[in-house]
A and B are shown apart, each in its own frame.
Chain A
Amino acid sequence: MVQYNFKKITKVPTGKDFVDIVLSRTQRQTPTVVHKGYAINRIRQFYMRKVKFTQTNFHEKLSTIIEEFPRLDDIHPFYGDLLHVLYNKDHYKLALGQINTARNLIGKIAKDYVKLLKYGDSLYRCKALKVAALGRMYVDVQPYAFTTKSQFVGHTDYKYLRYQVIDTPGILDRPFEDRNIIEMCSITALAHLRAAVLFFLDISGSCGYTIAQQSALFHSIKSLFMNKPLIIVCNKTDLQSLEGISEDDKKLVEEMKSEAMKTLIGQGGEPREGAEVLLTMSTLTEEGVIAVKNAACERLLDQRVEIKMKSKKINDCLNRFHVAVPKPRDQKERPPCIPQAVLEAKAKEAEKEKKRLERDLEEENGGAGVYSASLKKHYLLANDEWKEDNMPEILDGHNVYDFVDPDILQRLEELEKEEGLLQEEDDNEVEMDVEDLTPQQQKELAEIRKKKSLLIREHRIKKSTAESRPTVPRKFDKDKKFTSERMGRQLSSLGLDPSKAMERVRSKSRGRKRERSIDHGGDDMNVDDDGSNKKMRVRSLSRSGSRSRSRPPTDVVVPGEGFKDSAQKIKAFKLGKKSVQKRNKDARKGEGDRVIPTLKPKHLFSGKRSNGKTTRR
């Protein structure tokens, strides 16, 4: 018998998917670009390749399907029957046959179209042929949808051996012919497999069928249980226990049990002690499930062993076995040695109840996301009240842990003492060699300093302006700084009597004036201070550099400035302004300012123009 591995059969895609797969494969694996300007041979080649490629793909995939699906004669009759039940043998054969036909047809189509393509004379024609070819292949592949159904199969272990468990869906009590597919599955399984049978009985009746009905079912299919170890399992004992059911039901159960015993006896050999045919369990509370499993496995194992023992081959094997048992040399009993402590512990464990774990606590308090275990629960502290304390780690920019010290109080005391001493010392210590000035003296000092600072400031201003501007000579004094009255005031504030000095000054100036009165002409040179200065207003000292506010009208010529007449002065001003204007517009500080803050500012050099050229911006 050929072993087929049903798992290895590749899943058959639906018709549509199948076509999609093949076509997309074609698209990816063959060149995609073709132009009508290419040589005709090249175009033909391109399309022929596509058609051929598609055909080979279809062929390949269909072949794999045909080969992977087993032939009905080659598989275990159980599978064969199962297949028949689910799908119908004939249908299966037909399907595979049709796939085969499709494969051949596709091959033919491809051949034909390739032949036609050889004579294609334009891109358009070639393309049309290709489309037609692919279209026909597509139609052929359509009607193959394969599905499989399976029962629940699982594995379990017992005594180092693997046991396969098949769960068959429930069976209804009906005549054989009326049964539907699912039931037929179960029945076929029962009929063909050499297995132990577990008949599940719902004791509580919550499935909707009474025990009587279930029992009737049992009797109708018991013929299938010939020669198979049978165990009756009463399920759902958490709802209804075996003892609690009614008398009639009990009788029925007993009948089933006796049937089961028959199989046991029929198995050969006396019923061993411990062999059971009637078991109870509950899947909800999970009691008795293990017992059922063990019983079933045990029975099956026994059966297999029996069969093996009876077969001819066993004699060959038996010769090779020999179980050696050590010969007892005296009558002394030598039981296995178990330390006393272990025995005691075992005994204790049996009586001790389950310890309450953290996990249980967590579950009680709301589960994993809600409850957070208190990690401080098991702290060993001097006082248990402190367990949940939050200790501060940082205080005022210090780490508290750095200060923690068992003797901290003592040391603190010492510190305080020390501090007290130091403070006393400080208080005694105040002495100074040099005495402080009296308030009067301090005021004087302040005055002196004010005057000095004023002088310094003036000097600084003069210094800065003198380099960049021509200074007006002293005799053309606009600010009335050099008046005799002023001199008088200053001298008197210093504590001197100014009268003599002022007289001398006046006399001198008068002298000069008297001399000049003889040849007094239209000379503008030595202008009298009083004259035109009437128009000038006093400005504050600090503004001597700037000429922002009060200025004489432009056309008035002051002799020291160096202009011939007012016209020249006006022209000079105009020229000066003109030279500055352009620079100011360019935001330049002066002649020498060549700074370009950003050489190429992006916003001026980027972008498109709706109107105009970008060559000049």
Chain B
Amino acid sequence: MRLEKCWFCSSTIYPGHGIQFVRNDAKIFRFCRSKCHKNFKMKRNPRKVKWTKVYRRLHGKDMTQDTTFEFERKRNRPERYDRNLTENTLKAIKTIDKVRFRREETHHKNRMKCKIAKERKEARKELDQQIHMLVAPGAKDIHLSPAKVTVKVQHESTNENRIEE
């Protein structure tokens, strides 16, 4: 029993799922579901289809090179069974997974770093420019009152003067 990778989207194909297509040149294409299969039949290039892993890797959205990927390699030579080795391998798989997951998270965070700065800048700008929605430019009372805010007693609520109608 082997878990294969879908040719189109690179997700794992579990037993009992998907279709395998064998071309005349004996190259085998495995698909995890009919979506990928149909896309393939339409001759779409997975490198250009946004939701595939190939695209994401190519465009730097997901981690590409990492030592954790080198642990998983298809070995064609069978190894003699060794119980200790198998035990260690099974434990190792778990830790490798954890490491890889953490690394992917950091990669994502780094990618999204710039966005936060941008967001903050925009927020500041909006606050400065659109403040007239809350306070008219010529207003004498500069106290800004959040209308109808239920304030919890524990909070140190600033005594806002509600401007009477």
Contacts and interface: CB of A to CB of B under 8 A. Distances in A.
B86 A415 contact: no
B136 A495 contact: yes
B49 interface: no
A575 interface: no
A70 to B, nearest CB: 67
A408 to B, nearest CB: 5
B120 A403 contact: no
B165 to A, nearest CB: 5
Interface residues of A, number: 59
Interface in B121-141: 121, 123-124, 126-127, 130-131, 133-136, 138-141
Given A393-B1, A448-B130, A493 B147 contact: yes
B19 interface: no
Interface string B134-165: 11101111111011010000000000000111
Contacts, number: 154
A403 B117 contact: no
Given A434-B117, A492-B164, A494-B134, A445 B123 contact: yes
B58 interface: no
B93 interface: yes
Given A398-B72, A434-B121, A437-B124, A391 B1 contact: no
Interface residues of B, number: 58
A396 interface: yes
Contacts of B99: 415-416, 419
A328 to B, nearest CB: 64
Contacts of B86: 389, 391, 400, 404
Contacts of B51: none
Contact of B80 (A381, A389, A395, A448): A381
A489 B134 contact: no
A434 B81 contact: no
A162 interface: no
B82 A382 contact: yes
A347 interface: no
Contacts of A441: 127
A495 B139 contact: yes
B120 A435 contact: yes
Interface of A: 379-383, 385-386, 389, 391-406, 408-409, 411-412, 414-416, 418-419, 422, 426, 432-437, 441, 443-445, 447-449, 451-452, 488-489, 491-497
Given A405-B75, A422-B106, 15 more contacts: A386-B83, A393-B2, A398-B3, A398-B72, A400-B86, A403-B92, A403-B96, A404-B79, A412-B95, A419-B102, A432-B117, A443-B146, A444-B134, A445-B123, A452-B133
15 contacts: A380-B80, A389-B83, A394-B1, A397-B12, A399-B2, A402-B74, A403-B72, A404-B85, A411-B71, A422-B106, A432-B116, A443-B146, A444-B146, A445-B126, A494-B135
